[in-house]
Amino acid sequence: MQPKWWQPGVVYETVKTFLVVVGLALLIRTFLIQPFIVDGSSMVPTYHNSDYLLIDKLTYRFREPKRGEVIVFQYPRNPQENYIKRIIGLPGDTVEIKGDTVTIKNDANPNGVTLTEDYINLGSTTAPFATDMSTTLGAGQYFVMGDNRHASSDSRFFGPLDEQYLIGRPLLRLYPFNDIRVLAGAPDRLATDR
């Protein structure tokens, strides 16, 4: 006599349940939420090396990213790698960097507005984080920078980020356990009108 757990009806139900669970997990990971582990110090003090995040992949299907939001995206020069940075410039903006100051020019601010970035870490060095530069973003392009400006490879180096590389925004920090947060890194206020 076969053990009760090996009867055809039990095996069928077990396999069916397993396939449904795996299918749901794949759907959730593909369209809703994706895990992400921060690798490096480019987003200190907002995120640290080894922070474990859940990425919201759904929001940007219904609205455009906003200035100041932290995003996870595929690195344009190697889409197998994922990066985490903050959106500084939106499509149509002109981003000007002089020393440690970022100014945004757009239709709402034709004379420019200097960003107030309380979240950045300039470190102990007094050297500016980048060579002076200016770039105008096209349709579907974003200018992204790390919060730890002196230790970040970002749009200053690889150029504007095309929207096709966007994955989503951090929804929840699950680790470290003493710093669990929803929407950690979201801006308290926007620095410009849009």
Active-site position among 57, 85, 152, 155: 85
Which has the closest alpha carbon to 53: 147, 194, 171, 139?
171
pLDDT tens for the chain, 194 residues long, are 555 656 667 777 777 777 777 766 666 666 668 899 999 999 998 999 999 999 999 999 999 999 999 999 999 999 999 999 999 999 999 999 998 889 999 999 999 999 988 888 766 554 555 568 999 999 999 999 999 988 889 999 999 999 999 999 999 888 888 887 787 666 654 444 44
Active-site position among 4, 16, 41, 42: 42
CATH of the domain spanning 8-182, picked from 2.10.109.10, 3.40.47.10, 3.30.499.10, 3.30.70.1560: 2.10.109.10
> 135: which strand partners?
95
pLDDT at 189: 47
Q: Provide the CA 135 distance to its chain's centre, in angstroms.
A: 21
Domain ranges of the chain: 8-182
What six digits make up the tokens of 169?
A: 């925004």
Q: Which residue has the tokens 């077990």?
A: 14
pLDDT at 186: 66
Instruction: Answer whether 135's CB lies under 8 Å from 95's CB.
Output: yes
Q: Does the model's pTM come out above 0.95?
A: no
The answer to whether 85 is a known catalytic residue is yes
The answer to whether 42 is a known catalytic residue is yes
